[in-house]
Amino acid sequence: MTDSETITVQGVEVPRLGLGTWRLTGDTCRETVETALDLGYRHIDTAQVYRNERQVGDALAASDVPREEVFLATKLGPQRSYDDVLRTTEESLARLGTDYLDLLLIHWPNGRPPGSPPNPLSSAPDHAETLDAMNELVDAGKVRNVGVSNVDVDALHEARELSDAPVLTDQVQYHPFWNQQDLLSYCRVHDVLLTAYSPLGHGGVLDDPVLERIGRRYTKSPAQVALRWLVQQDQVATIPKATSREHLEANMAIFDFELTDDEMAEIRRPSKYETLRGFLKARVLG
């Protein structure tokens, strides 16, 4: 159990709660990041394929928060040859208006998300080549930490073997309905951070009766209980997406209560059905 708002992994201090920016674009993205920084968020996550790095950078530039107080992460796009990594990271740095990234991640192990059409003009990325380029960026001081995303234990282990720089985190889907116990156990043994995205199950937790019942004991919402469940686990951070000031504030208000061991166990209910239900509901509602 932890009450700390940060976690130290491999000697690196990371805020346990960050802001995910997937599907945030234009003025909405910029305004959301500005609001989050104003409220005290110090962990911002973006990606080259989100097409919002410039807006994130504009928000950082407009904020009074010093750059060194923000843990800033972005993820590589599908083109990941050695030269591509160096070039696209420089482009990310320019868009974000910063001299360095706190974290650069490989976004997808095969270069593209599941279900997306293959690109006949590109071959599968060479992970060793990609990591070599990421390591060069670390040596040059342009990237402080490297990580991976959407990989299982075997692929995480391979990345750790291939990379000279320590792999700081594996960013994966993790919420009460999605089991990541094998990966989390590995991360704990090897001092790797598990960064949970889609921590609210694509909205599926919001009407969950178990979370509602537990939340009433603490005057907290189901979403707050789900987020607390994550950050109360050793070796876990999370990056929920939110846009309104009300939701951003609510997501931060999770460090003033503590779930019991029985509640922690009760909340963990792996269910592909509930995960799919939340995913489809989110797509229908936009």
List the catalytic residues: 50
Residue 101, phi then psi, degrees to nearest 5: -110, 140
Report the C-alpha dihedral over residues 97, 99, 101, 102, rounded to 10 degrees. -120
DSSP class of 213:
H
Tokens 């469940």 appear where?
A: 229
Quick one: which of 223, 207, 196, 204 has its CA closest to 283? 204
Contacts of 154 (CB under 8 A, 6+ apart): none
CA distances from 92 to 46, 228, 277 (A): 10, 32, 35
- For the chain, how many residues are written? 286
Q: What is the 3-state secondary structure (H, E, C) of 61-111?
A: HHCCCCHHHCEEEEECCCCCCHHHHHHHHHHHHHHHCCCCECEEEECCCCC
Q: At 127, give phi and psi (nearest 5°).
A: -65, -35
**Residue 285 near residue 207 (C-beta atoms within 8 A):** no
Q: How many CA atoms lie within 13 A of 199 on its CB side?
A: 28
Q: Is the separation of the CB atoms in 125 and 80 below 8 Å?
A: yes
CA–CA dist 186, 189 (Å, integer): 5
